[in-house]
Structure 1
Amino acid sequence: MSLDSALDHLEAGLILGPEHHRFRLTELMGPHPLGLLWRAEDQSTPTRASVSLLFLPQALSQQPEFIERLRRLISLTRKIQHPHLLPCAGVFPWRGHYFLAFAAVEGRSLAQVFEKQQIAQLSPEQKQGLCLQLGKALHAFHKQLNTAYTSLSPALVFLNPGQGVLLMPLPWRALLDDYYDLCKPPLGYRAYQAPEAFQGQTTRAGDVYALAALIYHLYQGKPAFREGEGEPTRYQRELKAPSGLNAEQWQVLQHALSPEPDARPASMPIFLQQLFAGPDKSLDELIAAKDTPATESKATDVEEALSPRADAPAPETAHSEISTEMHANASTTTYVANEKRARLQRWLKSGGIPSLTFILGLILGWSASQLFKPSSPDTNPSAHLAVLEAEQIEGQAESLEHPATDSESAIELAENSAASLESLTNLPEPSTHSNAPLTLFQDPFQEASSSREISLFAPEMVILPPGSFRMGDLDGRGDDNEQPVREVNIARPFALSRYEITFAEYDRFAQETGRRLPADEGWGRGSRPVIHVSWNDARAYTRWLAMKTGQPYRLPTEAEWEYAARAGSETAFWWGNELRSAHAVCDGCGTEWDGRMTAPVGQTPANPWGLYDMHGNVDEWVEDCYSEDYRGLATDGQAQLNRGCEYRVMRGGSWFDIDRVIRSASRYRHPPNATRNTWGFRIALDLPAPSD
């Protein structure tokens, strides 16, 4: 891929990235179809964790739609967790370019192995282990996101010492098909795609085909199809049986390479079981047979096998540490001091000598908690967003949970918080009325489940700048408690959750702390805002989250809430003084949920600062004790706190309320122990001032 002069002048020692998340370049890894790969240190971590940066070429960096879709895709795929999927920390701007930050990649890509014709140096056990690990990663992608990967390419598969296969989890096809010609050399997934993919039909059966095509390349030493060869070749070409596979295995591989999707194995587990375990032995039995110390001692390191000579320089053996400061979608900002925003770390511990052991029992028995271990009992780090354990390839029974065909590349935004790949082009766009940069981040934490640690992330937060605003009834439609209008100064930056806290987020807290699960009225949980929570419940959630992350989460103050809701406006709503159809969820707001129930969060447009549902959906608790009006109150944005506080303030209005109640200035009071099916909350976080 052609790179411009700015990328040509990257050099070791250069520090780049947004103010709150800096990286220091350490070593050039080389070109990649998607740009240029560098090793770097994550300066936002006290230990300077090792990461890999992928610099996109200017041709892609200058496509705003591509970058926005990339950000959304990263946010979506961060929900999945698996030891053979390469964690992505986000996309960051630099001098008109963008780069992606990944966990450290120390080995070579499978494309490089193919290019250097080094496959023959791998033992049968290593080839088989490579296939199984890659199949595990794809199966985890299918199961956790309920969609097809669609983009399998050797250039996206890395062989990391001590870890084995690492698959880049971004389904690039959803992004690149419109820009494919900008990749020189091409990314390569079209050489492995199923015939139906040429017609835009992307299914999990197509991923089985793609893996089969890659396995053919691995065992035959040359690809079944070349880049640029079209759909007819999938029907016309007669492939020769590859060496290293017996007749039964070749028959299984041929079925997987069938141009008819229904003729292929129904899932990744079934395909791998048929290919490597056979009809008389389950995949679990194969694991048990391989999972012995004797077998493990016979393993040959893949990196050693691929080395041209014994005295070649050894790869680096330093421990790798993965930064968990997943500040995706970050824009340049001056509000967060780098040394003050260092987050909790997760340590990826490898052995003293690089080892890529493909012993099948070890491969299929690894869990995320074994591969990603904290450095000390006091460290509560994370590397992924979802509360999902590393998946075992289980075989035929499990595969029946998901049919082989999907609806294109859709991931339905349902109660499990999964999102649609198609919706990357249809999500509500934040308003551009403000010039304030939209900077998002999520803090990591960890919890224990079934004797293993599960990686989680706090709610997505938006950094808001300091500033002044007029607080109160500016349009003359308010109540006396919105008077007098006063100038309020927010002196320090702070962060506010982008969405109202969802059932999925609150239920995790409730289950861990033994708290009663709030009722959902039969409307659904998952991505809907939590309801039936009191101020006491909301406050308890923030304290739990602060304890889990080590960060000072809290409820927003009343002034902060209105400052964020207005987002620079002085009108009744952030978009103007008159109700606009489908811009909020309330009684008469023009949505399908009006006056009936809550909507899943984020269904109406965000305000200019990227915050969703500030008007309507659910009322939101804030920190303040209620005052009858604003006379004599402080103007520094701090919470109004009184001894013996009888009522707490609630803001924003709900699905049940008329439009007057959902105005930016509207305020109400309720006892802190009361609950209703219209009440929820969002959270805030203190940030350091620029001078700190």
Structure 2
Amino acid sequence: MTQTDQQTIPVGAMIDEFRVTRVLGAGNFGIVYECENVHLDETVAIKEFLPTELARRDADGQIAPLSPATADAFNWARDRFLQEARTLWSLARPVPHRNIVRVTRYREANGSAYMFMEFERGQPLSDLLEERGTLTFEELRPIVAPLLDGLERVHAANVLHRDIKPANILIRPDGSPVLIDFGAARNVALSGETSVFTTYTPRYAAMEQHYPGGDQGPWTDIYGLGATLYRAVTGVTPKSASEQLLGHIQEPAAELCRGRYPDAFLQAIDAACALKPEDRPQSVNAWRAQLLSDLPAAEDATVVLPTVSATEVTRFSASSAGTPRTPTSSQATGAVAVEAGLPPPRRIRVWILATLVLAVAAGASAWYWWTEHRSDEEAERAAIEGSSRQPEDAPLRTEPEPTSKDRDVAETKPAPIPAPAVEPFAPHQRFSDRLNSGGSGPSMIGIPAGEFAMGSPVDEDGRNSDERLHAAAVDEPFAMSRTEITIEQFSEFTRAVGYRTEADRESACLRIDDEGVELVADLSLSWEQPGYPVTREHPVVCVTWNDARAYAEWLGEQTGREYRLPTELEWEYAARATTTTSRHWGDNLEVSCDFANTADETVLTGAEETRRIEGARSECLDGHLYAAPVATFQPNLFGLHDMLGNVAEWTCSVYDPVYGGGQAKCLDATQRRGPAPIVIRGGSWLTSPALARSAARDGLPSNLGLNTIGFRVLATNRPWEGRASVTTHGSADE
């Protein structure tokens, strides 16, 4: 085995008697390969444990911790991986069940661990529901009955799945179902968790999963399958338990679907979706009697479902099912296989605080790795288990364009239309483009082209190893929003197109816990209510990279000018504003409170001093416990406010720790698999001042929203062409 840029085993290498034929998916905690037995006619999928935050593959193929500081966490996580494998292996004993994904064996090797699984082909139920909306009772019955049998086997082994949802049910080409992705499985016979991480999907998770110490049992999985059936019959994503507790009542399936399904079937679905555990059926057998008894269809009834080709395979996904998704060209010929990356362990360095914990809190979508380029043939993957304050600027006039009313996801790609000429801006010019829907866009300022030293010198205080100093250049002028995008500006977009953020649609906004240590998913948070007092002039947060891209594309559609997120190179160039010091005001932290809202002595005047790490404050007062209204602090020499501090900001570039060229371009969202790790910059109100430097950088999955991360937009003198450009005019001296 040799080392590759993506840390994967090369095609043609061997894992025991199996030859690697292709990589099916890679996540932050593991890689899945399709392999063929060189002695027998057998194809398997092999999951290799490789946590990219903790370890890497050496030149000799061995996997080793990144440093002594990560060794303990690596060994702990590897042990949990093997425990998970044993749990899944036990489900196939004494006889494998056809409707449960099968782990055939597991082993340690190369300093890591491997899980061998049967290779399954099919289509996730989530994709089928996305295409069809709902399924008839005649289509659902031959799916439900085998799933109940499989789930009963799981419970008989004292195992709970704990993440049943449409994305984790694979429909084979013959129409039979298989329950996949036991990454959140728990052995109820043991006192502790057996999975590498514990997670759930809020809209399909029972109430007892939302808080520590909840009494979980078979009734917990029954809720997940009941919520899945609710989606299948109503066409509506179920409300989360937390939403229902807050008074957002879920309309019963028996009322929404009366006359279209047997009454007993609908009543049983509603019973499974009961909030209180004691109000649900307590076992699969009891629920089966309610769900499928006294119904005319035969147990072995054969139903013809939409054709699934042999190349269509399961999506190994932890995102909420039912979420609108625009297929890529490759998905038209074969479903793209995506390996769910497990949340990373405690990080050595992080923007939000000094750490990220070994398990991202429940409700966060699982983290995936990425592929930036692939041909149509390579895209046929297979796997098993599966997004200001307005000064009085002179608006630039543009010709009106039609407004899209149907955009809901960032990947929506309007058909290209002839774009009118845009009025060019000049360096240092302040302007706002007119919006076709009325009003003006964000206040922008022209940034001249130029060269600079990107990264940090080795003697800079707080420097990290991923800040390699190198020559870089911006070849063409661009304009940057003078402030972070505000709640008011983002609300204009959501009102215009009826947009719902990704966190609202499928997971939750993340915040730091009350001890200031871990990230937790909080369903009460949103971009309008981020968990602290805000006005319309505060920066919008709780938005994912996809939400930020959707807003930028809407600006392009409204103005006729190209708007997008800045590349990492453009962001640092704008943040430095011709300076070469660690911050645009210099290296003196004692005056930082005049220029940036970070963790400082203000916290000592409030009641939440535990939410900052001791010793990580500036010895000054910026006057803000949380985010401040935009433009509260002094701008840099380019006239940009809050480039450091206040809220961290999404860029459009994929995180690369060695600066291999990705910093100068945007990730092409149509060419990726799963949520890539996107660069965030600038630090936030919760950031240690040492991390609020022009060169400091980090990456997070594109589908996460935090109440410390927002964004600003970039504009060019080019006309809008239907979606954000995927290349820019930055360059770097490699």
Q: TM-score range by the shorter chain?
A: 0.3 to 0.5
Structure with greater helix share of residues? 1
TM, length-normalised to structure 1: 0.35
Give the structure-2-normalised TM-score. Answer: 0.34
